[in-house]
Chain A
Amino acid sequence: MERKDDLPPLARRFQESLGELAGPDQAHFLSSLGEAAEFLREARAGEEAVLWEDRPRERPFRAPLGVCRAWKAAAATGSILLLPPSREASWASLLADRVVALASLEDLVADLDELFTTLGPPSPAALVVTGSSRTADIEKQLVIPAHGPSRLDVLFLPERPDLARLREMVRS
């Protein structure tokens, strides 16, 4: 189901950059929201345990899976831009062990410089995330996870994804 051979250069670069982090993080290039729903159905542990960024919970909750929107992606470093509107919304990409971020190929830019110079109006929070949480504080030994997610999957779609529609498709 994943496109591999006909990837545009920036997409290929993004995939390589994420791979260079030497962690479990991956980029996937899908052709429809339906494929994203399928990916989530395969990944998730049980419906109630999923944190959705657009459906924040009132109390902190550690979940096996979180789903959020990535508003931009920088190919040179494999970074994504998250714009959680509130702290509760940010838990989907923070308190989940595995995070799936949905991006659009339209929002893929070359590098961090381009990402920062093309940001929209200031939002409550803007997070530029590169891979899963990590530490190398003990003898410079890379350890994943640190305090946040242990795995990040970035799903690229041709069009801008709609989380509410995706949720319905996952359920049906």
Chain B
Amino acid sequence: MKDEGTLQAFEAAASDPSLGEKVRRAVERSVAKMSAHLPLGPERDALRDKARAVRMEALEELPELLERFTANIEAAGGRVHRARNSREARETILRILREEGARIVVKSKSMTTEEIGLNPFLEEAGLEVIETDLGELIVQLRGERPSHITAPALHLSVEDIARTFRDELGIPPPEGLVLEGPPSPEEVRMRAARELSLAARRHLAEKFLQGDAAVTGANFLLADCGAVVIVENENNARLCTSLPRRQIVLAGVEKLLPSRAALGTLLPLLTVTATGQPAAGVVNLLTPRYTPMDVVLLDNGRLALREDPLFREVLACIRCGGCMNICPVYRHAGGHPYGGAYAGPIGALLRPLLEGLDRAGELPFASSLCGACSEICPVRIPLDRLLLELRARARHGLLEKAAFRAWAFAAERPALFRLAAAVWRKFPFLAALTPPGRAWKKGRELPRPPRESFEAWWEKRKDREDPRKERDRGTEG
């Protein structure tokens, strides 16, 4: 397999215990709040079934919905652009910004702009790009990728962020917060979180007014009224879409929904799974009659994926991040090792499916297949089953194939199997010399062989009375 970087990234992340600590604390809070409002169970499953049906029907009707959406946006004076890949999307957005004479671009949170690598591209073209979501601002200042779809900076502590604001914005760290050494008491840290959030508000207040154009994402696109749906808490998306002269919306083609009625089903599940909120702070439904609007619809492999009967349902994803919150692998490693815009189980599917197995073929293996993601998914994507299917499609190395053939050969020949097992019991260190043994030993101890084989153990006790039989007789009598 060519995708060596993925493995190394996961290894590096897993070797930093403080990272897992921070990630776990953040996501466990979201999951606890979710469970308080909408616990796992039949009631939640009925909602999930309904949400899934809404999304799958929309994917079925996607070509008609795209047509209707485009017609409605254009009738209201907006423009719709189709981009086949990241490069086309980046160039389209830059062209619109140049047309507008824009110098300063304000952005509200969008993982799709992350997917196409928009920020570095615009900066190279000489534009100033400002992320306005607090979490996005923090990772932008640090030159990092978001670590989570809905909580970009959840891998950072208050202290990390205080250092970043001091170094990048010249904002003095909150009083009493210890940056080096043993951490401050929790109440000091939480007061510092508040002060830093408010400092970011002050820092960005002027930027919203200076922005010539805004680039936003979209949670959904509504075909029947030609509207873009943006869900947020901070009101930064409202400011981005209500002050600059022009709004550019980048959205994957799969985000189409037939009508506003679908939102009643999807939005509560989206917010409660993402952050445990019954409702988001603001749901924006915006049309070109409100703000001059260009919508860039990104394909980037999605339409081909729609034709794949096995994996089409991956496109039903509403990007809540629930599968990340619950995933034991994500909880140890955070989002960065997934190497793309989307992390966690959904990222382990999306990246290889959209970019190709040759570029991200190791990702489907970055899962314990425990199935917690499929249980939490608001649109019931069977993530663990699809990860397994994708593993089957990933190319296997010759050595791996040979190893499994050798195993099969020995397992079918009892004498050979017994001999191999006896050798292992006698010389356990031999296992550590094989390539899989070496890989295993990097982070874990190899299991010690049992003193005797199961066969030998069974031989010794098969003539004894079965203790269960005795007990059964006891209860009968």
The 8 Å CB contact of B264, one of A84, A112, A124, A145, is A112
> Using Cβ atoms and an 8 Å threshold, which residues of chain A touch B260?
116-117, 119, 126
Most chain B CB neighbours (cut-off 10 Å) among A74, A78, A128: A128
Chain A residues within 8 Å of B198, by CB: 143
* Contact partner, B26, options A116, A139, A143, Cβ 8 Å: A139
Q: Does A31 contact B (CB under 8 A)?
A: no
Q: From residue B108, how far is it (CB to closest CB) to chain A in Å?
A: 10
Cβ contacts under 8 Å, B264 to chain A: 111-117
Q: Is the interface of A mostly helix, strand, loop or mixed?
A: loop
Q: B239 touching A94 by the CB < 8 A rule?
A: yes
Which listed segment binds B: A2-10, A35-43, A129-137, A157-165? A129-137
Kindly specify which of B187-195, B381-389, B406-414 makes contact with the partner chain.
B187-195
Q: Is the CB of A147 within 8 A of B193?
A: no
Tell whether A139 pairs with B158 under 8 Å between CB atoms, given A115-B264, A147-B208: yes
Query: Given contacts A113-B264, A137-B135, A138-B197, are A147 and B239 in contact (CB under 8 A)?
Result: yes
**Chain A minimum-CB-distance residue to B134:** A137
Which residue from B152, B189, B234 sits with its C-beta under 8 Å from A147?
Answer: B234
Q: Is the CB of A146 within 8 A of B233?
A: yes
Q: Is the CB of B194 within 8 A of A143?
A: yes
Structural contact, B281 and A134, CB atoms closer than 8 A? yes
Minimum C-beta distance from A94 to chain B (A): 5
**Docked CA distance A117–B267 (Å):** 13
Report A11 CB to chain B, min CB distance, Å: 18
Q: Can you name the residue of chain A whose Cβ is closest to the Cβ of B132?
A: A147
Task: Establish whether residues B133 and A137, one from each chain, have CB atoms under 8 Å apart when the complex forms.
Answer: yes
User: A112 to nearest B CB, angstroms?
Assistant: 5
Also in contact, A135 and B238, with CB within 8 A (given A113-B264, A129-B282): no
Is B239 a contact partner of A140 (Cβ separation < 8 A)? no
Of chain B, the residue at the smallest CB distance from A128 is B283
Please measure, in the bound complex, the distance between the C-alpha atom of A138 and the C-alpha atom of B200, giving whole angstroms: 11
Is the CB of B151 closer than 8 A to any CB of chain A?
yes
Please pick, from A62, A143, A147, the residue contacting B204 in the complex, using a CB distance under 8 A: A147
CB pair A77 B278 closer than 8 Å: yes
B130 on the A face (CB < 8 A):
no
Closest-CB distance, B391 to chain A (whole angstroms): 33
Segment at the B interface, from A45-53, A64-72, A85-93, A100-108: A85-93
Interface residues on B, range: 35 or more
Contact B261 A124 (CB under 8 A): no
Complex contacts, A74 vs chain B, CB 8 Å: 279
Report chain B residues within 8 Å CB of A128.
Answer: 279, 282-283, 285
A103, chain B: closest CB distance, angstroms = 16
- Given A137-B197, A138-B161, A143-B194: A122 in contact with B227 (beta carbons within 8 A): yes
Q: Is B209 an interface residue (CB 8 A)?
A: yes
B226 to A, closest residue via Cβ: A122
Which chain B residues (23-44) contact chain A, with CB distance < 8 Å?
25-26, 29-30
Using A113-B265, A143-B194 as known contacts, say yes or no to A76 and B234 having CB atoms under 8 A apart: no
B339 an interface residue at 8 Å Cβ cutoff? no
- The reply to whether A112 and B279 form a contact with Cβ atoms under 8 Å apart is yes
Query: Would you call A76 and B278 a contact (CB within 8 A)?
Result: yes
Q: A116-B261, A139-B189, A147-B236 are in contact. Are A122 and B287 (CB under 8 A)?
A: yes
Is B316 interfacial (CB-CB < 8 Å)?
Answer: no
Minimum C-beta distance from A2 to chain B (A): 24
Cβ-closest chain B residue relative to A148 = B235
A131 & B281 in contact (Cβ 8 Å cutoff): yes
Identity of the chain A residue whose Cβ is nearest the Cβ of B240 in the assembled complex: A147
A15 at the interface (CB under 8 A from B): no
Q: Which residues of B contact A77 (CB under 8 A)?
A: 268, 278-279
Say whether B275 faces chain A, with CB atoms less than 8 Å apart: yes
CA distance A74 to B194 in the complex (A): 29
Name B281's contact: one of A125, A130, A141 (CB within 8 Å).
A130
- In the assembled complex, B291 has its CB within 8 A of some CB on chain A: yes
| CA distance in complex: A111, B225 (Å) | 22
Determine if B234 and A134 form an interchain contact, defined as CB atoms under 8 angstroms apart: yes
Neighbouring B residues of A116 by C-beta, 8 Å: 260-261, 263-264, 267
Chain B contacts of A87 at CB under 8 A? 241-243, 290-291
Can you list, as one digit per residue, whether each of B259-301 has a CB less than 8 Å from chain A (1) or not (0)?
Answer: 0110111011000000100111111111101110000000000
Contact B234 A146 (CB under 8 A): yes
User: A66–B46 Cα gap in the complex (Å)?
Assistant: 41
For the complex, give the distance between the alpha carbons of A162 and B264 in Å: 29
The 8 A CB mask of B131-150 against A (1 = contact, 0 = none) is 01111001000000000000
A78 vs B280: C-alpha distance when bound (angstroms) = 11
Nearest A residue (CB) for B195: A143
A111 to B29, CA, bound (A): 25
The answer to whether A146 and B280 have CB atoms under 8 Å apart is: no
Q: Is residue A26 contacting chain B, with contact meaning CB distance below 8 A? A: no
**With A87-B242, A138-B156 given, can you name 8 additional A-B contacts, CB distance below 8 Å?**
A122-B226, A126-B285, A127-B283, A132-B281, A137-B152, A138-B158, A141-B190, A141-B197
Pairs of residues from A and B, 3 with the lowest C-beta to C-beta distance, nearest first: A148-B235, A113-B264, A122-B225
A residues sitting closer than 8 Å to B (CB atoms) are 17, 60, 62, 74, 76-79, 84, 86-87, 90-91, 94, 111-117, 119, 122-141, 143, 145-149
Q: List the interface of chain B (C-beta within 8 A of A).
A: 25-26, 29-30, 132-135, 138, 151-154, 156-158, 161, 189-190, 193-194, 196-198, 201, 204-205, 208-209, 224-227, 233-236, 238-239, 241-243, 260-261, 263-265, 267-268, 275, 278-287, 289-291
Q: List 8 A-B contacts (CB under 8 A).
A: A76-B278, A94-B235, A111-B268, A113-B265, A122-B227, A127-B283, A138-B134, A148-B282
